[in-house]
Amino acid sequence: MKMSFRHCALASAVVVSSLGFTASTQAALPFFSDKKAEVPSLAPMLEEATPAVVSIAVEGTQTSRQRVPEMFRYFFGAPQEQAQERPFKGLGSGVIIDAEKGYVVTNNHVVDNADEITVKLTDGREFTAKKLGADEQSDIALLKIDPDNLKALPLADSDAARVGDFVVAIGNPFGLSQTVTSGIVSALGRSGLNIGGYEDFIQTDAAINRGNSGGALVNLHGELVGINTAIFGPNGGNVGIGFAIPANMMKSLVDQIAEYGEVRRGLLGILGSDIDAGLAEAMNAEVNLGAFVSEVQPESAAEDAGLQAGDIITAINGRKINSFQELRAKIASMGAGAEVELTVMRKGDEMSVDVTLDDATEQTVTAAQIHPALEGATLTNGSDGAGNAGVIVSDIERGAPAARIGLQSDDVIIGVNRVRVASVADFRNALEEAKGVIALNVKRGNSTLYLVIRQ
């Protein structure tokens, strides 16, 4: 086939020559012009944007547990469950959002359970990355690399995005080197997809495939509009429906991770549903989109601000919302203590309500989320008998891995490898940084002891 194409090209040249065109005639024809036409192109923008989009390679181990048949437990004294560790490797994408600090944002599912994270730039340089924190519910993770001559993407105001805006997806699909695809914003505020706990996605028809996760969705100014996170496709391939986490939502989350090591969600304190035409008519409201407040929880931020059951919330900080799910996602991505202006329809009248969000961060966590060896323990923030802040083992399952390393109920963990920890967040960060043997400094009553975890 290649030979045929080359022959056709040569034949065309012979025919043109045989027509006897003079030099002046050739110059007048468009395909003989010496002037380079100004062709519209995304290339200048991409030359500036693509150095900020990186490839991410991860390695780690996943622990799977299988229940041991009762016969083996009876005859051989085997445990109820048998743990099996399997190594894994993965690939994804990421975006440099702060060149001076070396901050790289990606999806949580790209780096989840990873023991080693390698970030590769378009110029071929490679860095070992440290995970500063992640949020499973919104699928965001923040990494840090050496801030050595990096290029960051500027952030767009994703709340200003419109359906029909041209966008470009940049990432590393299927392990290929950096790839660029283009399309438009197909929809905004997508939720109810069961992809994550908090959904407020930008939908695009720019081709997104496996490996694009964590990559950039940029506008024609080269500004970051969103972080590509998921596709809708029966066979795992692109069918023109992809989803990105809005840049504003991402920025709010990573700011919290950078400051606290975790996301401290805002809490409004209401229950509700989407507004529809029937409900709007029943409430005498001339709106068909928004969030209907069915209940205001007592002693909540919503009650303090004066919200009432029957209110219809139509906008947050002047930006319209379409559904209760969109309201939930936007509120959850804002930090505890954030001041929010809500536009509310009440009995047919529009009004503004100022709210200071409560802290929705769960103070109690299942320890297996932090380290496999701690499975079976429930941890909560607290203090020892002397009033020193630490991590309390509030509950522990008999025979669980956490019990086998020696933890007991009411133990207070105050250190990891001689690093002081005063909260669950501190404990998580210390364990992530610890390598090899881990020594937990524990207060038990009036005694202090060390419990060892061998990895």
Catalytically active residues, by annotation: 109, 139, 213
Written in H, E and C, the secondary structure of 285-345 is: CCCCCCEEEEEECCCCHHHHHCCCCCCEEEEECCEECCCHHHHHHHHHHCECCCEEEEEEE
Q: Which run of H or of E encompasses 23? A: helix 23-28
Rounded to 5 degrees, what angle do the CA atoms 391, 370, 64 make?
Answer: 140
List all residues 6 or more positions away from 399 whose beta carbon is below 8 Å from its beta carbon.
Answer: 79, 80, 376
Structure tokens, 121: 């730039």
Q: Are 427 and 413 in contact (CB under 8 A)?
A: yes
Judge whether 333 and 241 are in contact, CB under 8 Å: no
Number of H helices, E strands in the chain: 11, 28
Residue 131 and residue 76 in contact, taking contact as beta carbons nearer than 8 Å = no
Distance from the Cα of residue 337 to its chain's centroid: 22
Q: Are residues 210 and 173 in contact, defined by beta-carbon separation less than 8 angstroms?
A: yes
The CA-based diameter of the chain, rounded to the nearest angstrom, is 104
Give the separation between CA 363 and CA 365, rounded to whole angstroms: 7
Q: In Å, what is the CA distance from 133 to each residue of 115, 148, 256? A: 14, 21, 9
Torsion angle in degrees (nearest 10) through CA of 76, 82, 86, 92: 180
Whether residue 90 contacts residue 142, with contact meaning beta carbons closer than 8 Å, is answered with no
| C-alpha closest to that of 256 among 420, 99, 105, 58 | 105
Let me know: does 78 contact 66? Beta carbons within 8 Å: no
- Report the SS3 class of residue 367: helix
